[in-house]
Structure 1
Amino acid sequence: MLDLHARLNLKPPVIHPGWFDATLDQLPDEIAFAYIDADFYESMACALRAVLPRIVPGGTIVMDDYADLDKNARAWAELPGVKKAWDDVTGGRLELDVIIGFDDLAFGVYRAV
């Protein structure tokens, strides 16, 4: 991946390894794109509380394992905390698209206005 960024003269992404609650203080003030693969309620809620206020207009959040069975009956529903965290943190005030991947993959996508 770093070779691709170098060839395109782009700055590579910054990766902060560690638990969400121990690394989210390193986030930039403004975020244009966030891919969150947090799996469980507490980690997803923690990440969303830190990322959502920083998303710039036009920015995007993609959440892995977003199982909304009403919109995607094939979604892998073993990680229900991802959807519940979105619902709880946003209070249902923000629109989210459900993207269906191959087989049981599902993603929730939020685009800031």
Structure 2
Amino acid sequence: MALNDQLTGDRKAKSSSRRLTRSLSARALDALGLQRKKTRPPEWRKRDYFQSALSRGIKGIPDERCFVLQNVVRGLRNVPGDVAECGLRFGKSTAFMLTADEAPGRTYCLFDSFEGLSEPQAEDFVQESGKAYWGPSDLGVPEDRVRQNLAGFDNMLFFKGWIPTRFPEVADRSFALLHVDVDLYQPTKDALEFFWPRIAPGGVVVCDDYGSRKCPGAKRAFDEFFADGRGRLIELPTVQALVFKPG
């Protein structure tokens, strides 16, 4: 037998063996009632506003969290005020909110150092390791890349700098939504202290990191700030938390 014929025969035998193994495995799973069935994408992934934002191909937070943000902002169409976002990274969450927002004349005030995270504090230490999961400058994305990802939207104001140094520039605005995605205790606390008095009645604050084991400081800042019951906090399985300001 020629070498090429032998190699071809070996490949066919291996392919046949793999098909047989898959077939037997499928039958065994079926017999045990464990056969995996193909599942269709959930209906929410088919929404026009979700698909439109998804087509931009921006990296960043999981799609499920983006869909939550889209529906929060859609639910705030009749609440007056702008949107503030602290922590942009690639701008994915921003793009999803902008795509879904139906409120006319709303401005997005976007805050980021564009140099990554600031210095973690003791409140950010993960219990298991006794140290912070993130370090200074982690998660940094250059401003020009974020602007490129958000090209085509014109109702944005960028505020480059460490939180809270640029906050006073929006002190005269009111806000329907605050999205906090800064991972660490101190900037999360600073964002809440500044923006909560400026959230309109019926407005919402969203914490991206509330249930993440990597970001205990963010959860602590929210728990401390809302311990007096000034807002109704709801934790989501997406690791986000929503806080509703009484109307």
TM-score (normalizing by structure 2):
0.36
Which structure's CA Rg is the greater one?
Answer: 2
C-alpha displacement at 1:88, in angstroms? 1.5
Which runs of structure 1 show a deviation greater than 4 angstroms over 4 or more consecutive aligned residues? none
Counterpart position of 1:108 = 241
Q: Relative to total residues, which structure has the larger helix share, 1 or 2?
A: 2
Q: Write the letter of the residue equivalent to 2:216.
A: P
**Equivalent residues, number:** 95
Question: Partners of 1:13 and 1:62 in 2: how far apart?
Answer: 19
Q: Is the contact made by 2:232 and 2:245 (CA closer than 8 Å) also made in structure 1?
A: no
Deviation at 1:89, TM superposition (A): 1.9
Amino acid at match of 2:236: I
In the alignment, the residues of structure 2 paired with residue 60 and residue 100 of structure 1 have an alpha-carbon distance, to the nearest angstrom, of: 18
1:2 Cα offset (Å): 4.6
1:15: which partner in 2? 158
Match of 2:214 among 59, 63, 78: 78
Q: Does 1:46 align with 2:183?
A: no
Question: After the TM superposition, which residues 27-46 of structure 1 pair with which residues of structure 2 at under 5 Å, given as runs?
Answer: 27=170, 28-46=172-190
SS in 2 for 1:14: strand
Give % identity. 25
Supply the distance in 2 between the matched residues of 1:44 and 1:98 (Cα, whole angstroms): 16
Partners of 1:21 and 1:82 in 2: CA distance: 15
In the TM superposition, what is the alpha-carbon distance from 1:92 to its structure 2 partner?
3.9
Counterpart in 2 of 1:91? Answer: 227
Assess if the C-alpha contact under 8 Å between 1:2 and 1:12 holds in 2. Answer: no
CA gap 1:78/1:55 in 2 versus in 1, 3 angstroms: same
Partner secondary structure for residue 35 of structure 1:
strand
Describe the superposition over 1:46-76 as per-residue Cα deviations: whole angstroms up to 9, x where unpaired. 0100011100011111111102xxxxxxxx3
Q: What TM-score does the superposition give when structure 1 sets the normalisation length?
A: 0.74
Taking CA–CA contacts closer than 8 Å with sequence separation of 6 or more, which of the two structures ends up with the larger relative contact order? Answer: 1
